[in-house]
Amino acid sequence: MAPHLLISLAEPSLDNTVGAALLGVVAAAFLFGVTTLQAYWYYHSYPNDSLLHKCSVGILWMLDALHLALTLHAVYTYAVKGFGDVLGLTHIVWSIKLQVSFNVVIVLIVHSLYALRVWLLGGYHRGVLGYLVASVVAGGFVIGIVLAYSIYTVDTYPQLDSVSWTIYAALGTSTTIDFVLAAAMCYYLRKSKGTITRLNSRISVIMQYTLGSGLFTSACSLSAMFLYILLPHTLIFLGVQFLLTKLYVGSFLIMLNARERKTVQQLTYETVSTDASWQHKALKIRTTSSFWSPSPQSLASPVSPLSPPTTLVPSPAPTYPWR
């Protein structure tokens, strides 16, 4: 028995098929430029970050660039090579199938990095949210693999109806994971607040970025899902789906760059020697404050590091002229 096709609210046309995919690629290219700028700013501002973060940013940027290339190939195939071929618009190009796999990999990497942070914060605060987040991300990993495999089993867009449940499950799970991660991180970050005003202000900024990134990615996932439900015979949902990876990578890099920059301050102090001469020395202090690890307590002392240390020299015994 043939699967029941979804009822679309609009008939396919040049505007809502090729036009929608073209607009999606243009917006994705703009977001990729923002992502590239954020990646450059990250490597320029945080050269002392861990190897995990450096490699993750590089891998995410390369995967995002390949994803953009695949979407460009798909739109070029529909708009230029398939110009005038109406039936060709119903065929799923190989680059569309492959970009779905790239989409799944990028989202899983970003979710795993967030889950790692929640896990570390959960161990620091002895919480149980880390286990919940790990379970949800693992479930999303399984559903993502099922989605990538299911897309390769169909050749036309009308045949997507037979695997539509995987699309709903993947987009719904992605939205759920975003909500759980944002809530868990905000909860632990709020618990990390102490008495230092500057650190509390930085944590509040990170919480705002966390909620904002979760909101944007969730809104994009839900929009793609509802557009596919309401307009399955068009490519509008595909144009929105092109933006999903860019929002995930961009939001992750923006959160990394929202941290306080690591700086090297040159402080000089003077020491006292036996001949009462001053010797200037350089002292390097590296400061770091981020949502990836609790901020170190300030090492500043009431005495300025630029002032020379004081020494107590015993005063000579008084001499009297009548002795």
Distance (Å, whole) CA 316 – CA 171: 84
CA distances from 273 to 267, 282, 306 (A): 19, 17, 17
Mean pLDDT computed over every residue of the chain? 76
* Interval 83-109 mean pLDDT: 88
State residue 12's pLDDT score: 66
| Helix ranges (DSSP H) in 231-276 | 236-241, 244-257
Write out the two tokens for 48. 């002392």
Residue of 189, 216, 213, 184 lying closest to 202 (CA atoms):
189
pLDDT band at 254 (very low <50, low <70, confident <90, very high): confident
In SS3 terms, 32-59 reads as: HHHHHHHHHHHHHHCCCCCHHHHHHHHH
**pLDDT at residue 249, rounded to an integer:** 93
For residues 106 and 65, is the Cβ–Cβ distance under 8 A? no
The set of residues, in sequence order, having a beta carbon less than 8 Å from that of 138 and lying 6+ positions away, is none
Q: How many residues does the chain have?
A: 323
Give the pLDDT band of residue 316 (cuts 50, 70, 90). low
Count CB-CB contacts under 10 A for residue 40.
12
Residue position matching structure tokens 């987040």: 133
Cβ proximity of 28 and 243 under 8 Å: yes
Q: What residue ranges define each of the domains in the chain, with the CATH number in brackets? A: 15-260 (1.20.1070)
Cα 103 from Cα 243, distance rounded (Å): 10
pLDDT in tens, 160-170: 888 889 999 99
| Percent of the chain's residues with pLDDT above 70 | 67
* pTM of the full structure: 0.74
Which has the higher per-residue pLDDT, 294 or 223? Answer: 223
The per-residue pLDDT for 39 is 94
Token readout for 249 is 């990578």
Q: Give the residue, 36 or 214, on which the prediction is more confident.
A: 36
Do 232 and 6 meet the contact criterion of CB atoms below 8 Å apart? yes
What pLDDT is stored for residue 268 in this prediction? 36
Q: Where are the beta strands (DSSP E) in the chain?
A: 260-272, 278-289
Name the H helices within the chain.
20-45, 51-76, 94-125, 129-151, 164-191, 197-230, 236-241, 244-257
- Sequence-distant (≥ 6) Cβ neighbours of residue 144 within 8 angstroms: 104, 107, 108, 170
Alpha carbon 234 to its chain centroid, in Å, reads: 30
Coil, strand or helix at 83: coil
Q: Does position 55 have pLDDT exceeding 90, yes or no?
A: yes
| Assigned token pair, 62 | 């390369």
Nearest to 25 by CA among 60, 76, 61: 76
Q: Token pair for residue 36? A: 């590239």
pLDDT at position 124 is 57
Rounded CA-CA distance 68/74 in Å is 10
The 10s digit of each residue's pLDDT in 276-310 is 433 433 334 333 444 444 444 433 434 444 444 44
Burial category of 123 from C-beta neighbours within 10 Å (exposed 0-12, middle 13-18, buried 19 and up): exposed
pLDDT score of 147? 92
Q: Which residue has the higher pLDDT, 277 or 191?
A: 191
What's the gap between Cα 273 and its chain centre? 53
Region 223-240 average pLDDT:
89
